[in-house]
Amino acid sequence: MALAHNLGFPRIGGDRELKKAQEAFWKGELDEAGLRAVGRELRARHWQVQKDAGIELLPVGDFAWYDQVLTHSLTFGVIPERFRGQGEAGPTLQTLFAMARGTLGAKGGDSCCGGAHAQPLLAQELTKWFDTNYHYLVPEFTADQTFALSWEQLFEEVEEAQALGHKAKPVVIGPLTYLWLGKAKGAEFDKLELLERLLPLYGQIFQRLAAQGVEWVQIDEPILALDLPQDWKNAFERGYNLLQKEPLKKLVATYFGGLEDNLGLAAGLPVDGLHIDLVRAPEQYPTILDRLPAYKVLSLGLVNGRNVWRCDLEKALEVLRHAHDRLGDRLWVAPSCSLLHSPVDLAREDQLDAELKSWLAFAVQKCEEVAVLARALSEPEAPDVLAALAASRAVQASRAASPRIHNPAVQARVAALKPQDSQRPSPFATRIASQRNGLYLPLFPTTTIGSFPQTPAIRLARQAFRQGRLSEAEYTEAMHSEIRHAVEVQEKLGLDVLVHGEAERNDMVEYFAEQLDGYAFTRFGWVQSYGSRCVKPAVIVGDLSRPKAMTVEWITYAQGLTAKWMKGMLTGPVTMLMWSFPREDLPREVQARQLALAIRDEVLDLEAAGIRIVQIDEAAFREGLPLRQAEWQGYLDWAAEAFRLTASGVRDETQIHTHMCYSEFNDVIESIAAMDADVITIETSRSDMELLDAFEAFAYPNEIGPGVYDIHSPRVPGKEEMVKLLRKAAQRVPVERLWVNPDCGLKTRAWPETEAALVNMVAAAQQLRAEF
Ligand code: GLN
Ligand code: ZN
């Protein structure tokens, strides 16, 4: 027998019910009782689906109103001073949402204590959860941090599950991972010093859970899959030794990577079980068996919790049978990680063809896979087990042979690639000379990052087109009219390099994915990104290629409206890959190369149509960075190469731009330089140009457009402010290599503030020209 359990289920609901309820609550359209009822209903439904699927031990505590790390901060009383109301009352749901979203202050918006604050409160920082596209709220610790049990949610939900007759396994983030994820505020100190203060809280929680009749608790410690400093490794031993005496059986869960040098440490912790991710790190399987103490449960994560493909059950079963011979009843089976990162239910997909649908599994189906794997050990001859294995075999066979996946022309093209294909013919110095000759731009040339406001009118037009209420000709004309408007405004403002505004694009990845062969789309494949925000990544199904030009008509239309340069606008291969569900039967770097070739063709078509400047966005370049330092270089090499492959087919005089909107370049600057874009535009305004230090220190040779204003807020920056930033930039980068632009695209802004900000930006550039 192996026990089937789950590490966590997506909380948003198959129809994004949680998102809708939260947003209604924030707008004041739903009261707290209504919101709580939606949460309760979702939890009940999700436990039931998992149980029906055959999961024996159900996760509780995976539900969160906004984010599970935030729930823990409330539980431990890690509530920054600014969110604490006067008086003794504990935190409320209002406190929680204020910590997540900030408050607007006295004038409307939500406020954490009945509008008593006159000052707006800054939300906690949002950061990527390991290498996923989920974002958590960063706990804020102070040197004098205290911890006190301040939030009852976990205990209430355990009671709720038990009342429904379920066997609950509460899930908590482990003490070391929780501290690791937080940020020290104020006077500097070592977060590890807080461990001894935090541990008693875990003791209290475990005692309460034990009193509720809980048998097992799952303690998530994903940082065991990271490179850990020695003092953190020591702290694991110290901390778990202190927790050893607490009641309850403890399962430490690791995921997102292999334990590697932490394997001995993890295996030896004085707990009752260990979960490992065998999807990401299958190679750790045999070693772990030898290191695991004889009393411990081993939970094998065999079903990928982070992708949408059906599990190869027979392959997984092979490992499981082997483990079962060694471990007997001490063997558990689970998804690799929480199913938070996969969409909810494939059964909802009514527009996928039968073949493709047979290849996919969402959270509900993944639970079924876990359960059938467990049953395959205890009842190998049961008809449903045999049927599931036969179906899995059929899926693997049909995928392996499907012409939909395998495109010989694409494969041959990738196989024939030579090093010079990802190398511009001339070095930057030669290229920039011929570009300057042809483009004739002033010093401090001004441009924008691509998108202009996506107004309600644009979204309505797209919706009407999709629903057939607008003909293609009418839709094209609506978009043309948006382009005309964008061009008129830019000419009036006196910008130097124009963009068409991206009105026709729903999303910078989906827009291109829809036009490539090899991609598929779901209707309900939503995954939580943060809070109420969900994304619906496109699915890379097979070899990728571009049947025809994707952007040339729009860009040449825009170029035809102006005598200034119109910048072509594309999404790069790495970003396309990072924001899609990738294939599992082909390495990521090969998928990146296929994307690179498809986009390279588009770059060449734009050049042939007379476009002289092409921007290839790589907003997600950093997102692919592996969790382990030792793997960084390998990733960075193929990622930079994929970009160059996209960009290297053009003549010297064609200028390639790239754009990245984040503010950490120090550790990857060499690879940014290796991309060899003629111009890179980056987000810098909020870092006060300090970000340019990395470029200066590296003597980054190509041109740079450091963003001079933050596009995340409607605030209109003054000219002086931008002049100051540009002067700072000019101290770090030779002026003949500087561009002037906002931090990122303007699609989330409205027109009035956009125009006002750009007027000032152009004026700032003019002033700098006069100064240099
Ligand atoms: N060209 C895109 C835009 O302006 C870039 C978006 C991004 O970097 N996230 O919207
Ligand atoms: Zn950006």
Q: Quick one: DSSP state of residue 704?
A: E
Show the beta-strand stretches assigned E in 20-93. 58-60
pLDDT tens-digit profile of 467-499?
A: 999 999 999 999 999 999 999 999 999 999 999
pLDDT at 493: 98
End-to-end CA distance of the chain: 77
User: Is 95's pLDDT higher than 90?
Assistant: yes
Residue 566 C-alpha from the chain's centroid: 31
pLDDT at 115: 41
pLDDT class for 661, splitting at 50, 70, 90?
confident
Other CB atoms closer than 10 Å to residue 415's CB: what's the count?
9
| Bridge partners, residue 545, by sequence | 517
d(CA 226, CA 222): 8
Please state the φ and ψ torsions of residue 623, each to the nearest 5 degrees.
-65, -20
User: CA dist 264 to 280, 436, 535, Å?
Assistant: 18, 59, 37
The whole-angstrom separation of Cα 688 and Cα 695 is 14
The answer, yes or no, to whether residue 306 has pLDDT greater than 70, is: yes
How many residues are given for the chain?
772
Phi, psi of 545 (to 5 degrees): -150, 165
Quick one: pLDDT band at residue 88, thresholds 50, 70, 90? low
Q: Is the pLDDT of residue 446 over 80?
A: yes
How big, in percent rounded to 5, are the helix, strand and coil portions of the chain? Answer: 50, 15, 40
Two tokens, residue 481: 């009219």
Task: Tell me how far CA of residue 351 lies from CA of 211, 271, 348, 642, 733, in angstroms.
Answer: 48, 46, 9, 33, 52
- Contact (CB, 8 A) for 420 and 336: no
In this prediction, residues 199-211 reach a mean pLDDT of 98
Say how many Å lie between the CA of residue 510 and the centre of ligand 1. Answer: 13
CA dihedral defined by 453, 458, 459, 462, rounded to 10 degrees?
-140
Cα 736 to chain centroid, rounded:
36
pLDDT at 360: 98
Residue 122 token pair? 């800054």
DSSP string computed for 439-467: H-PPSS-BB--SB----HHHHHHHHHHHT
What single-letter DSSP state applies at residue 583?
A: P
Average pLDDT of the residues in 372-384: 97
Residue 461, both tokens: 């037009």
Give, for 404, the enclosing helix (H) or strand (E).
none
pLDDT at position 687: 85
* 485 a catalytic residue: no
Q: 441 alpha carbon to ligand 2 midpoint, in Å?
A: 23
Residue type present at position 44: A
pLDDT above 50: residue 112: no
Predicted local confidence at residue 35, as pLDDT: 98
Q: Which residue has the CA at smallest separation from atom 3 of ligand 1? A: 745
Q: Which residue owns the Cα nearest ligand 1 atom 6?
A: 745
Mean pLDDT of the chain: 95
Mean pLDDT of 342-364: 97
Which residues, judged by CB distance below 6 Å to any ligand atom, belong to the binding site of ligand 1? 449-451, 502, 508, 569, 617, 619, 659, 661, 744-745, 747
Give the residue whose CA is nearest to atom 7 of ligand 1: 619
- Nearest CA, atom 1, ligand 1: 450
Q: Whose CA is closest to 604, among 614, 595, 594?
A: 614
Numbered residues of the known binding site for 5-methyltetrahydropteroyltri-L-glutamate:
16-19, 128, 133, 533-534, 579, 623
The whole-angstrom separation of Cα 576 and Cα 574 is 5
Contact yes or no for 218/7 (Cβ under 8 A):
yes
Whether this model's ipTM surpasses 0.95 comes out as yes
Residue nearest ligand 1's atom 8 by CA:
619
Residues 350, 576: Cα–Cα separation, whole Å: 25
CA angle (379, 382, 386) in 5-degree steps: 110
Report CA 501 to chain centroid distance, whole Å: 25
Q: What is the pLDDT of residue 349?
A: 97
How remote is the CA of residue 421 from the centroid of ligand 1, in Å?
Answer: 26
Q: What is the mean pLDDT of residues 114-121?
A: 56
Q: Which residues are annotated as a binding site for L-homocysteine?
A: 449-451, 502, 617
Note the pLDDT tens digit of each residue in 360-373.
Answer: 999 999 999 999 99
Strand blocks (E) in 650-693:
655-660, 679-682
Q: What is the pLDDT of residue 107?
A: 38
The pLDDT of 292-314, averaged and rounded, is 98
Residue in this structure with the two tokens 């809708």, named with its chain if needed: 20
Distance CA 271, CA 275 (A): 11
Q: List Cβ neighbours of 471 (8 Å cut-off, separation of 6 or more).
A: none
DSSP secondary-structure letter at 57? B
Contact 532, 67 (CB under 8 A): no
645: helix, strand or coil: helix
- When mean pLDDT is compared across 78-87, 256-265, 359-368, the lowest value belongs to 78-87
For ligand 1, what atom is nearest to the CA of residue 745?
4
Backbone angles phi, psi at 427, to 5 degrees: -70, 165
- Would the pLDDT of 423 be above 80? yes
Tens-digit pLDDT profile for residues 539-586: 999 999 999 999 999 999 999 999 999 999 999 999 999 999 999 999
Please list the alpha-helical segments (H only) found in 213-338: 230-243, 263-268, 284-291, 313-327
- In the three-class reduction of DSSP (H, G, I as helix; E, B as strand; rest coil), residue 417 is classed as coil
In 3D space, the residue among 221, 131, 127, 241 whose CA is nearest the CA of residue 176 turns out to be 221
pTM: 0.95
Q: Which residues partner with 539 through β-bridges?
A: 520, 581
Tokens of 73: 């901060």
The protein residue whose alpha carbon is closest to atom 9 in ligand 1 is 619
Pocket test for ligand 1, best of 133, 502, 508, 535 (most atoms within 8 A of CB): 508
Question: Is the model's pLDDT at 117 over the cut of 80?
Answer: no
Ligand 1: nearest atom to the Cα of 569? 1
Residues placed in the known binding site for Zn(2+): 659, 661, 683, 744
Quick one: pLDDT band at residue 757, thresholds 50, 70, 90? very high
Instruction: Return the sign of the alpha-carbon dihedral for residues 480, 485, 490, 492.
Output: positive
Residue 196 pLDDT exceeds 50:
yes
pLDDT tens digits, 496-534? 999 999 999 999 999 999 999 999 999 999 999 999 999
Amino acid at site 68: Q
Ligand lying nearest the CA atom of residue 511: 1
| pLDDT tens digit sequence for 581-616 | 999 999 999 999 999 999 999 999 999 999 999 999
pLDDT at 63: 98
Q: Are 745 and 450 in contact (CB under 8 A)?
A: yes
Q: What pLDDT, on a 0 to 100 scale, did the predictor assign at position 544?
A: 98
173 within 8 A of 214, measured Cβ to Cβ: no
What one-letter code names the amino acid at 51? K
CB contact at 8 A, 327 and 346: no
Ligand 2 center to residue 628 CA distance, Å? 26
Burial class (CB in 10 A: 0-12, 13-18, 19+), 36: middle
Split at pLDDT 50, 70, 90, the class of 663 is confident
Please, what sign has the CA dihedral across residues 279, 283, 285, 291? Answer: negative
* Cα 138 from Cα 125, distance rounded (Å): 5
pLDDT band of 10, cuts 50, 70, 90: very high
Of 100, 94, 1, nearest to 56 by C-alpha is 1
By most ligand atoms within 8 Å of CB, the mutation choice from 535, 566, 659, 741 for ligand 1 is 659
pLDDT band at 110 (very low <50, low <70, confident <90, very high): very low
- Cα-to-centroid distance, 659 and ligand 2 (Å): 6
**pLDDT above 60: residue 116:** no
Query: How deeply is 471 buried, as exposed, middle or buried, from its count of CB atoms within 10 A (0-12, 13-18, 19+)?
Result: exposed
Please list, in sequence order, all residues whose beta carbon lies within 8 angstroms of the beta carbon of residue 344, skipping any fewer than 6 positions away. Answer: 10, 12, 13, 14, 362, 363, 364, 524, 526
Name the DSSP class of 508. Answer: T
Secondary structure in 3-state letters for 72-102: HHHHCCCCCHHHCCCCCCCCCHHHHHHHHHC
Q: At what angle do helices 588-608 and 408-415 cross, to 10 degrees?
A: 90
Q: Report residue 168: phi and psi, to 5°.
A: -95, 140
- Give the distance (Å) from ligand 2 centre to CA of residue 681: 9
Contacts of 296 by beta carbon, 8 Å cutoff, 6+ apart: 267, 271, 272, 273, 274, 330
Please check the confidence at residue 761 and state whether its pLDDT lies above 60. yes
Secondary structure letter of residue 676 according to DSSP:
-
Mean pLDDT, range 285-302, rounded to an integer: 96
